[in-house]
Structure 1
C-alpha cells in the first residue's frame, strides 16, 4: 500500500479554504499540508489560519505555503517536483463557482439558461495541466479535481491521466440527507446523484419537479425522494460549507492508510456521482444491492445527454440539449463540440466568449 503523508491543496478561494480549515480541525493522524496559489496575501492567511486552527483544536496538522501561478508554463511540473506530494486536491479555477448565484451579465444568464456544463472547459484547464504534470512526473500521486468533477473528470480520463475523484455535488446531498435523518452511521445511506440534482433542493419542496436522485436506506430504495427529504433545503449559492468539507474525511483516510466509505463525484472519470469505498489505498464503487456499474453510469450520463456536455469514447466532446441551443446562439463553432486534445485552444475560445458576454 502506498504510504501517503503529505497533501497538496492548490487554490486560495473558498473551496480550498474549507478543505484547509477542516483538515486543521479534524485531523487525527499527523499530516503535512502545502497550500499552493498565486495570491500571496490570501495564501499566507490560509496557512496562518490553518496552523492556528490546528493549535486551537489540538490536531496534528501543519500547513506551509507554496507560491505558484498554474497558468504559467510548466508551473504545475515545478510545483510537483518541489513538494513531492502523495495527494493533490486541485481546487484552483479560472471560473468561480459563484456564477451559479449571479444573473448580472449575459455570461451568467448563459450559464443559467444552458447549464453549468458551459463552464466545464474553464473549470478543466488547470486540473488538466496538473494531471499532465503528474503523468509526466511518473510519481504515484492520488489526484482529486474539485472543479466540476461530474463532467471535467471525464475529460481528464479521456486524455489518459489518472483521476481518483472529485469532492462535493453528490456528497452535498448524501451528507445533507444523512444529517437530516440523524444517521450515526452514514453508510446506511447510498445514492446515485448527478450535479443537476442539486438545483431542485435549492427550491421549496412544492417546486421540485425534475428527476430526483436515487437513494437507498439500509438496502431499500426510497420511493419518493422529494417527500422523504422535503426538509432539506440548500442555499442558492455554492454550498461550500458542505461541498468543500465533504472531501476532508477521504483525504485524511487516504493520508493515514485507513478505510472509508462515502459518496464522490467523478470517480475514475465516470460521469455524475456514486457511493464508494476506500480500501488498501484504492477507491472503488460501493453500489447498492441490485445495481451494477453499467446501469449506474447510464443513469448519471443521461443527465448530460439530455442537456449538457458528453465526453465520448475517443475524447470527442458533444454539447447537447439546451446547452447546445444556447451556445449556437452565441458561437456556432463552439456549439459543434471539440476533442479533448484541443482543450487549450478551446479554453481560449470560451474565455473570449465569457469576456465578451460579461462586458455586454
Structure 2
C-alpha cells in the first residue's frame, strides 16, 4: 500500500458518505479517509463501508478521523497528518435539499428565491476548509461539492478557491447523452456531449427540459463529428423531465455522487479523463473539462469562445439570484431573489464580502429555523 494514492473525504454527510463508500469499492491501490465531526456517525459509516467492501472482495486501506471545520488549526493538522493526494470537500451548513422538507406551500414560496441567496451557507464552510488546506501545507488537488459555480469565483478573489468542483453542470450530461444515443440508435459511448451551463440551468433542465431565461451552450459529437445542427435539441431536452425523468431529492444524490466520482477517480488513479465540472480553477459556472496529468483544461463546444462561455454562465448566475461577483469577492445579490427571502424569512442582504459570509450564514440558519417552526402549523 506504500504506492497507494490517498483520498480524504472531508465531510461525513449524505454525499460524503456515498462518495467514501464508492471509493472503497475498487481494486486500485487507494487509502481513503472519512473525516467528520460526529464521532459515532463517522465510526459507523466507516465500518459499514469497510464491511461492505470486504463482502465484495475489495481490501482498500480505510480510516476515519474527527474534526470540526470551525477549528481551522485542528482541521489543518488532520490534513497534514493524512497527507492526501486528493481532498474532497463535502461540507455545507445547509444542503440544497433541506428547504424541500418545509411544508409544501412554504417550500414553493422559498424555492422562488433560487439558490444564490443561500450562498453564505456553502461559502463559509468551504472558506474555513480552504484556510485549513493552506495552513496544512498540502499539495493535494482540492475538489469541492458545495455550490462551486459561485463559491469558487468568490474564494478565487481572496486566493482560497478549490481546484475544481463537482455536480451541477455534470448531473444532466448522462441524461442528454442517453437521449441523443436513443434518438440516433447509437450506444452511449458513441456520443460526446459538451455542456456549458450554470447551476441554475442544470437545476432547471431536469425539471422543465429547458434553460428558461438563462443561456446555455450545448454541443454534441458522434464518432468525432459535430452533429448538433442535425438534432432537434429543444425537443430532446424536453424529454429529460418526461421519458428520461429520474429520482430526485435526497435519494437522487446518487447522481451527484456519480458526478463527484467521475472527477475524483481519475485524479485518485492518476489517469486522464474528460468530465463536466463547475468552478474549474476558480471559474464561474460549469464547463466540459479535460483532466490531463492532474491539471484541468476547459473543452468548449465547437465554435464557442472563452468569452461566450463566461457570458453563458453569467446569465445563469443572474437567474440563480446573484447579480455580480466583483473582483474583490464581493457578492451582489439580485433584488428579486432577495425580495423573496425578505418576505418569507425576514432576511435581507444586498451585498456581502467574503469576510461577512459567516455572520450571514448564522443569520440565515436562525431565520430559516424560525420560519420552519412558524410554517409547520
Instruction: Output the TM-score relative to the length of structure 1.
Output: 0.88
Q: Aligned partners of 1:248, 1:128: CA distance in 2, in Å?
A: 22
Shift of the 23–331 alpha-carbon distance from structure 1 to 2, 3 Å rule, reads closer
> Which 5+ residue runs of structure 1 have no aligned equivalent?
none
Shift of the 346–40 alpha-carbon distance from structure 1 to 2, 3 Å rule, reads same
In the TM superposition, 1:136-215 aligns within 5 A as 136-180=135-179, 181=181, 183-185=187-189, 188-203=192-207, 211=214, 213-215=216-218
Deviation per residue, 1:304-338 (Å, 9 max, x gap): 22441232211110101531322344688842211
- Residue 165 of structure 2: SS of its match in structure 1? coil
- Residue 291 of structure 1: SS of its match in structure 2? coil
Instruction: Tell me, yes or no, if the aligned pair for 1:37 and 1:68 is still in contact at 8 Å.
Output: yes
Instruction: Tell me, yes or no, if the aligned pair for 1:272 and 1:301 is still in contact at 8 Å.
Output: yes
Q: Aligned partners of 2:211, 2:283: CA distance in 1, in Å?
A: 26
Q: Aligned partners of 1:288, 1:203: CA distance in 2, in Å?
A: 24
Matched residue, 2:220: 217
In the TM superposition, 1:33-182 aligns within 5 A as 33-59=32-58, 61-72=60-71, 74-104=73-103, 108=107, 111-180=110-179, 181=181
Say which is worse superposed, 213-222 or 268-277, in terms of deviation: 213-222
Matched residue, 2:287: 274
Say which is worse superposed, 217-226 or 263-272, in terms of deviation: 217-226
Deviation per residue, 1:173-192 (Å, 9 max, x gap): 01222244364437711111
Pick the aligned partner of 1:264 from 277, 287, 305: 277
Matched residue, 2:308: 295
Aligned residues: 356
Matched residue, 2:367: 353
Say which is worse superposed, 107-116 or 164-173, in terms of deviation: 107-116
- Residue 335 of structure 1: SS of its match in structure 2? coil
Q: CA deviation at 1:347?
A: 2.3
Instruction: Tell me, yes or no, if the aligned pair for 1:89 and 1:143 is still in contact at 8 Å.
Output: yes
Q: CA deviation at 1:106?
A: 9.1
Q: Aligned partners of 2:97, 2:359: CA distance in 1, in Å?
A: 25
Shift of the 210–241 alpha-carbon distance from structure 1 to 2, 3 Å rule, reads farther
Instruction: Tell me, yes or no, if the aligned pair for 1:31 and 1:60 is still in contact at 8 Å.
Output: no
Instruction: Tell me, yes or no, if the aligned pair for 2:220 and 2:228 is still in contact at 8 Å.
Output: yes
Q: CA deviation at 1:274?
A: 0.6
Instruction: Tell me, yes or no, if the aligned pair for 1:94 and 1:123 is still in contact at 8 Å.
Output: yes
Q: Aligned partners of 2:197, 2:363: CA distance in 1, in Å?
A: 31
> Which 5+ residue runs of structure 2 have no aligned equivalent?
none
- Residue 271 of structure 1: SS of its match in structure 2? coil
- Residue 130 of structure 1: SS of its match in structure 2? helix
Q: Aligned partners of 1:172, 1:211: CA distance in 2, in Å?
A: 17
In the TM superposition, 1:238-249 aligns within 5 A as 238=250, 239-249=252-262
Shift of the 131–312 alpha-carbon distance from structure 1 to 2, 3 Å rule, reads same
Deviation per residue, 1:287-310 (Å, 9 max, x gap): 122112221111011122244123
Q: Aligned partners of 1:259, 1:306: CA distance in 2, in Å?
A: 34
Instruction: Tell me, yes or no, if the aligned pair for 1:315 and 1:341 is still in contact at 8 Å.
Output: no
Shift of the 138–67 alpha-carbon distance from structure 1 to 2, 3 Å rule, reads closer
Instruction: Output the TM-score relative to the length of structure 2.
Output: 0.84
- Residue 288 of structure 2: SS of its match in structure 1? strand
Q: CA deviation at 1:266?
A: 1.5
Deviation per residue, 1:244-270 (Å, 9 max, x gap): 121213212112221011101111222
Q: Aligned partners of 2:368, 2:7: CA distance in 1, in Å?
A: 33
Deviation per residue, 1:70-98 (Å, 9 max, x gap): 23353322221232212111112220232
- Residue 303 of structure 1: SS of its match in structure 2? helix
Matched residue, 2:18: 18
Matched residue, 1:235: 247
Say which is worse superposed, 273-282 or 145-154, in terms of deviation: 145-154
